[in-house]
Structure 1
Amino acid sequence: MEKRSLGPELERWVVAQAIAGNDPGNVLQPLLDDGWGEQEAVDAVAAAVNAYVARTAEQSGLPMPERVPVPTEPNGASSLDGGDREVHVLASMLLPRVAVLGGLLSEEECDAMIELARPKLKRSTTVDPDSGGDMVHAARTSHGTSFVRGENALCARIEARIARLLDWPLEHGEGLQVLNYGPGAQYEPHYDYFDPEASGSAVTLSRGGQRVASVVMYLNTPERGGATVFPDVHFEVAAVRGNAVFFSYDRPHPMTKSLHGGAPVLAGEKWIATKWLRIAPHA
């Protein structure tokens, strides 16, 4: 059967809705009302957005997109199989590609991860763009520690769950990083991908290629503040224990709208665990 075409006017409307970050369900509804099959509509919307991204890249000389993890399709399942745990999709956005996941971790797992990390905390660092090493930066005022992939049973279980949810190879993930933010601590808006133009990026890119997605898991619920914010689209995700926010970026460029930050903790403290995913096996 020949695939239906959106037509120029409808395609422009679909792309405009995606750029604005509107609810995927609202984008699909006019097609469904017009008699489109659900999967047919999903495929057409995805094709329109992907074609727009490719055209923009070609016209602007931008880097071409990479394949990225996809936890759920637009207007997809509200419950995801994590193998040993059911995870719920609470919110989803197309551009940037963001999914808020409910119940990714149990309360017991959150508490255990905090206790494993607590004695190892040090002032958090960022990647030095010149050397590729670690450096303390004023924009990041948390304390944290990192675990080697599969370092203990808890890490291994969480990493396997994420790999299953995202259908992304386990070995393409970095080890978990746990961060603690006290009152007033924050992480100013930034990108998680490595700047390919920075002299130090060759070092980080040699160990698994570019980052393409992040999963930020909330290990506690701050009394106030501490949201994960996406300034380009005026969207924020509240830090709620056990929940997580997933976001992907198919190329190292601001057009992904993946600029994000950790808003200041206004009362109490915030604990998170972060998982970064690469395009190739990470060593």
Structure 2
Amino acid sequence: MKTFEQVQAAAQAGDAASQDLLAQALEQMGRIDEALAWWMKAAKSGFPAAHAKLGLWQLVGFKLPQNSQEGVARIAAAARAGDPLGLSLAGVIDAGGIGAPRDIVRALKWLTQAAAVGDAQAACQLGLLVGLSGPNAALARTVLASAAAAGSEPARRALGSQPFAAGAIDWAAVGAAVDLSAFEAPLTREDVRASPAIAIITDLLPGWVCDYVMAMAEPALGRGMVVNQAGGESVEDVRSNRVMNFGLADSDVVLELVNSRIAAVAGMPAENAEGLGVLHYAPGERYAPHVDYIPDTPANAAHLAARGQRVRTVLVYLNEGFDGGATEFPRLELSFKPPRGSALIFDSVKADGSVDPTTLHMGAPPTRGEKWIISKWFRTKALRPGPTAAANA
């Protein structure tokens, strides 16, 4: 393995692969501006991984001016060159309709190509999408075994305690066997109240999706934060649970399918949602009574102008087997604890757009067992690039 100094010398001599490697090292060291400079050099030499990274930063407007069309084009070029990061990001873009028209068929093509070049997490997603309980269960098991052997923890969990061995895989057959019916199944909606609007959606997500979301979130959980009086976010005593927020760089095809399913049931554009938040409550942890809307105060003016008001919340309950832990609305004298895979939807504003203080609610602490939920907040403004007429292939 080369030392940092050897990689740096090769990068300075013009080797694009070393420039990319140096940029990765500098990013991990927190030297972001230097990393950007080296990725720019590598991109000028046509190095696909550098284009994928710069494309991501252009999509989200990090260190580069936000330019979704150019970002999508960079990522698509990297994907066509077979770059693993480019393939992964291209799948996310097409599955989520991010800066380009939503195209799930093409997203699955990128995902299959990523798995074929050794991306264990891409293989895991494909195995789960083929289905362990469907007609192609044996194929799904083989794919998941390959992913588990390559280090995918969600694949290991999906396979359970039974032994597994990776075998030869026909990736074209895997792609053809993908079953998206779990994300297209009809839904049952129970309207609880008209004002504030509250509804329960049963069977929004199947169990295997719930398990996958929890497995993906668990390694990155951190203390949950709240919007403070200064308009920023901070750790406060009112919230003791842990959370993982999936941004664009953390997402994947399955998570984008989840995002789209939630947006559809919420009746809101997917791009108006904050990142997929996964909340974990250990026994005794809570989120004290709070509102989801952002108070219209001078301190929050810039925040609201840039990001819009939170108007709708979707909570998806990912597990059962815990006591306590209900979502409680003290001013409405309502309490909810839907079954696994079901969702609670409520509006934080009234029909005229004004905030509704009666939506004060809390995440009560579990008294036994752990509680997992997805939290999705929808805003009045888009938070990431939505579908456009731009093409990325």
Shorter-chain TM-score above 0.5: yes
2:182–2:206 Cα contact (<8 Å) kept: no
1:89–1:101 Cα contact (<8 Å) kept: yes
Is 1:96–2:196 an aligned residue pair?
yes
More strand by share: 1
Is 1:253–2:355 an aligned residue pair?
yes
2:183–2:257 Cα contact (<8 Å) kept: no
**Superposed displacement of residue 162, structure 1:** 2.0
Q: 1:146 aligns with which of 234, 245, 255?
A: 245
Looking at structure 2, the residues matched to 174 and 151 of structure 1 have their Cα atoms a distance apart, in angstroms, of: 13
1:172–1:277 Cα contact (<8 Å) kept: yes
SS of aligned partner of 1:116: helix
Looking at structure 2, the residues matched to 182 and 172 of structure 1 have their Cα atoms a distance apart, in angstroms, of: 30
Corresponding residue of 1:126: 226
Letter in structure 2 aligned against 1:280:
K
* Consecutive unaligned residues in structure 1, runs of 5 or more: 1-80
SS of aligned partner of 2:199: strand
Corresponding residue of 1:280: 381
- Specify whether residues 82 and 100 from structure 1 end up closer, same or farther in structure 2 by C-alpha distance, changes over 3 A only: farther
Q: 1:186 aligns with which of 257, 263, 286?
A: 286
Identity %: 34
Task: Calculate the TM-score normalised by the size of structure 1.
Answer: 0.66
Max radius of gyration: which structure?
A: 2
Looking at structure 1, the residues matched to 319 and 183 of structure 2 have their Cα atoms a distance apart, in angstroms, of: 23
Corresponding residue of 1:230: 329
Query: How do 1:134-173 and structure 2 match up within 5 A?
Result: 134-149=233-248, 151-173=251-273
**Superposed displacement of residue 105, structure 1:** 1.1
**Superposed displacement of residue 279, structure 1:** 0.9
Q: 1:265 aligns with which of 366, 371, 374?
A: 366
**Superposed displacement of residue 219, structure 1:** 0.9
Looking at structure 2, the residues matched to 207 and 108 of structure 1 have their Cα atoms a distance apart, in angstroms, of: 36
Deviations 1:174-219 (A, max 9, x none): 11111110001111111000011151x1343233311100001111
Looking at structure 2, the residues matched to 280 and 83 of structure 1 have their Cα atoms a distance apart, in angstroms, of: 25
CA RMSD of aligned residues (A): 2.0
Looking at structure 1, the residues matched to 183 and 371 of structure 2 have their Cα atoms a distance apart, in angstroms, of: 28
Looking at structure 1, the residues matched to 247 and 341 of structure 2 have their Cα atoms a distance apart, in angstroms, of: 21
Looking at structure 1, the residues matched to 236 and 334 of structure 2 have their Cα atoms a distance apart, in angstroms, of: 25
Task: Calculate the TM-score normalised by the size of structure 2.
Answer: 0.48
SS of aligned partner of 1:86: coil
Deviates more, 1:178-187 or 1:233-242: 233-242
* Consecutive unaligned residues in structure 2, runs of 5 or more: 1-180, 385-393
Looking at structure 2, the residues matched to 210 and 87 of structure 1 have their Cα atoms a distance apart, in angstroms, of: 27
Looking at structure 2, the residues matched to 123 and 148 of structure 1 have their Cα atoms a distance apart, in angstroms, of: 17
1:191–1:259 Cα contact (<8 Å) kept: yes
More helix by share: 2
Query: Which structure carries more relative contact order (alpha carbon 8 Å, separation 6+)?
Result: 1
2:196–2:356 Cα contact (<8 Å) kept: no
Corresponding residue of 2:315: 216
Looking at structure 2, the residues matched to 279 and 174 of structure 1 have their Cα atoms a distance apart, in angstroms, of: 11
